[in-house]
Amino acid sequence: MEDDGRHRVLVVEDDGLLRTTLERGLRRAGYLVDSVSTGGAAVTTARTSGPDAVVLDIGLPDADGRDVCQALRAQGCAAGVVFLTARHHTDDVLSGFAVGGDDYIRKPFEFAELLARVAGVIRRRPFMVALNEKEGEEERLQVDPATHSIRYGERTVSLTPTEFRFLSCLIARRPEVVRRAELIAAGWPGAAHVGENTLDQYVTRARRKLAQVDFPQTLENVRGVGYRLQ
């Protein structure tokens, strides 16, 4: 990997022409650039390249960009994430922030605005050292947005989309306490109302899925606050 002091940007966009345009423009602006067309490739590339910012399309062929963002956060990626979206509904925008995004820009856009937003998320994003980075690869709890699954060691288990979003949020924030409202916002983006009983049911389901991959840590209930994955 190049290391000459320049910031690195990962572009995740399935439209070939737009991806090439973004790649060329960011390089002219002085960034090191990696570009991929799928969510699965984004997670793999981020793990090895360590980007400072990610320009992430929401509508990808293999995964929702918001699920990809959660997967990146779950594997310890601290890059600033700028969502690209053709959607104009406020709920779509807010759901991107709920899953760990830092900014968004609506298509079509002026490239100068994109550059300003990329520079902004790099400037604002604090330095983070993820717990997962301290663990060996074989000990890391991994999430895959393309297959909606978690993997630990040699064991893999499939998840529903809601289970995936719910668990990814907990893994990304581990070992912090995640408040119930934050879990609801991450698990059910744009939902008008999710009852307490529904959340509790998904906690039970999450514990069951973690047990199926023999994950040794516990999903703890912090009474009156939320939940913490140890």
CATH number of the domain bearing residue 189: 1.10.10.10
Is 88 a domain residue? yes
Q: Residue 184 is part of which domain span?
A: 136-229
Whether 158 and 208 share a structural domain = yes
Cβ pair 8, 52 in contact under 8 A: yes
Q: Which of 90, 124, 158 is the last residue in one of the domains? A: 124
pLDDT at 203: 93
Whether 115 and 17 share a structural domain = yes
Low-confidence ranges of the chain (pLDDT < 50): 1, 127-136
pLDDT at 140: 76
Whether 66 and 142 share a structural domain = no
pLDDT at 130: 40
Whether 47 and 81 share a structural domain = yes
pLDDT at 51: 95
pLDDT at 126: 57
Please report the sign of the dihedral spanned by the C-alpha atoms of residue 178, residue 82, residue 122, residue 47: positive
CA-derived radius of gyration, the chain: 17
Whether 116 and 12 share a structural domain = yes
Whether 222 and 116 share a structural domain = no
pLDDT at 94: 74
The CA distance from 212 to 204, in Å, is 13
Is 113 a domain residue? yes
